[in-house]
Amino acid sequence: MNRWNGILLMTAAFAVLDSACDKSNDKGGKSAGTLPAEVSGRVQEADLTTVRLTTQAEQRLGIQTVPVEIKDVPHTRTYPGEVMIPPGRAIVVSAPVAGVVTLPSQRKTEPSPGMHVTPAESLLLLVPGAMDNGNALAASDRISLTKARADVLAARVEAEGQVREAQVRIDAAKVNLDRAEALKRENAGSQRAFDEARAVYQLADAAQASARDRLAALAGVLSELDAGRQAAIPMVAPVSGVIRSIYVAPGQAVPSGAALFEVVALNPLWVRVPVYVGDIDQLVADGTASLHGLSGHSRTDFLTARRVFPPGSADPVAATVDLYYEVADAEQRLRPGERVGAVIKTWDQDTGLVVPYSAILYDINGGTWVYEKTVPNTYVRRRVAIRVVVNGKALLARGPSPGADIVTAGAAELFGTEFGAGK
């Protein structure tokens, strides 16, 4: 009996407490259906980022749009690359005969490292033998003149042999090039074989041209010596480029074969990219590569390089093979020896929303946005999420619907107009 009395007393106590809580809530002026939080004046994010322009303002900002597209974007991998001078593009100019180095009359300053030169530009003069005055040789220097003539004769014979040798190489390279071209036309040969044959032919042709120029210069010197005159041989730049080294000074006597200066051609350049051997089959190795600096701030400054096929090289210790790419660099943004990143496509790919990377804007917190043209003269800033950037195209993980008009040219100006810093 006592047990049932205790249960009844506890039930009555709970009922009294529940009634007290209800009264307390009523005194606070709150009903049982009130939410914990209430937000008034709610505004959607898109309603805060709409920019409306007049037709004149739109023209002044130079706004251009492109539609959002659904495209296949290949995966890429980034490898370290080293900028280098292509073989045969660093040329050392040597003295064909013994003589004295002087400056050409038209030059006001001595050539120096870093100076840009053009083909056939005369940098130095080489006067065979030792000169007593402007026209005649001293008696003690006749032996020098005789030796100079002998050096010229030997050099001419060597140059004639180089011309004949180069012609043989050209003939052989032309046969291989024609065969590779014919196989390529019939889809029986690869682009790689054709490129290799063309490179060999071009190198042979350049070697023959250099040998012929040397032979012509030596013939002129020999005729001058046979006529009893002391001919000054112009030492010219063999290619357009930059002087990398100067080995002599005006007034210096040099022996036959002495190095005078070195000229390097900096356009085009090669990039050597060591790749782990296990990745080779996954890369589109016969295509192109996109080069960028290592600072991480040059995504919009990609340089496109095409694959070239010199004799292969590898590093067995690092288990890497070298891929070579040629890049045109007329603006000389790259330097020999510089490290760059090489972005190479793989056979894998993703499909998604794609917009030009130039349309992407970054806010102060790193958020990414684009401007969408909804109606004429009206632009709405939309938040986007970038998955990857490949060759100036941004693949979006989240963004506007396909077909939406996205601002490319003029996006930064719209951003400035919205926040009070526009034109």
Q: For 332-359, write each residue's pLDDT tens digit.
A: 888 888 899 888 888 888 888 999 988 9
State whether 150 and 296 are in the same domain. no
**Which residue did the predictor score with more confidence, 178 or 192?**
178
- Regarding whether 401 and 298 lie in a shared domain, the answer is yes
Domain contains 174: yes
Locate 149 and state its tokens.
Answer: 């003539």
Residue 367 domain-assigned (yes or no): yes
Query: Domain range holding 319?
Result: 61-84+268-418
Residue 33, in any domain of the structure:
no
Q: What is the DSSP letter of 132?
A: S
What is the widest separation between alpha-carbon atoms in the chain? 150
Question: Could you tell me if 111 and 256 lie in one domain?
Answer: yes
* 125 and 182, same domain (yes or no): yes
Side-chain half-sphere exposure of 368, counting CA atoms within 13 A:
18
Q: Last residue of some domain: 216, 248, 264?
A: 264
The answer to whether residue 43 is domain-embedded is no
Cα distances (angstroms) measured from residue 222 to each of 38, 140, 145, 150, 309: 102, 21, 11, 9, 41
pLDDT of residue 270: 92
Give residue 166's pLDDT. Answer: 78
Contact yes or no for 194/184 (Cβ under 8 A): yes
**Quick one: 69 and 178 in the same domain?**
no
- Same domain? 250 vs 342: no
The pLDDT > 70 percentage for the chain reads 76
Residues 73 and 155 in one domain: no
Is residue 203 in some structural domain? Answer: yes
Q: Is residue 145 over pLDDT 60?
A: no
Helix (H), strand (E) at residue 15: helix 2-27
Query: Is 249:126 a contact under the CB 8 Å cutoff?
Result: no
Tell me which long-range contacts 102-111 makes (C-beta under 8 A, separation of at least 24). 102/126, 102/127, 102/232, 102/250, 102/251, 103/250, 104/234, 110/246, 110/249, 110/250, 111/243, 111/246, 111/261
Mean pLDDT of 10-14: 52
369 shares its domain with 410 = yes
**Is residue 182 included in any domain, yes or no?**
yes
If one counts every other C-beta atom within 10 angstroms of the C-beta of residue 123, the result is 21
Q: Which residues neighbour 53 within 8 Å (Cβ) at sequence distance 6 or greater?
A: 61, 377, 378, 379, 417
Domain-located, residue 225: yes
- Same domain assignment for residues 283 and 351: yes
Q: What is the band of 421 on the pLDDT scale with cuts at 50, 70, 90?
A: low
286: domain CATH number? 2.40.30.170
The domain tally of the chain equals 2
Q: Which two tokens stand for residue 112?
A: 């120096």
- What is the C-alpha separation between 54 and 133, in angstroms, rounded? 80
Domain boundary, last residue among 237, 264, 291: 264
The reply to whether 74 and 98 lie within a common domain is: no
One domain, residues 134 and 73: no
Angle at the Cα of 104 from the Cα atoms of 103 and 105, rounded to 5 degrees: 115
- Out of 264, 289, 320, a domain closes at 264
Residue 34: inside a domain:
no
Whether 226 and 203 map to the same domain: the answer is: yes
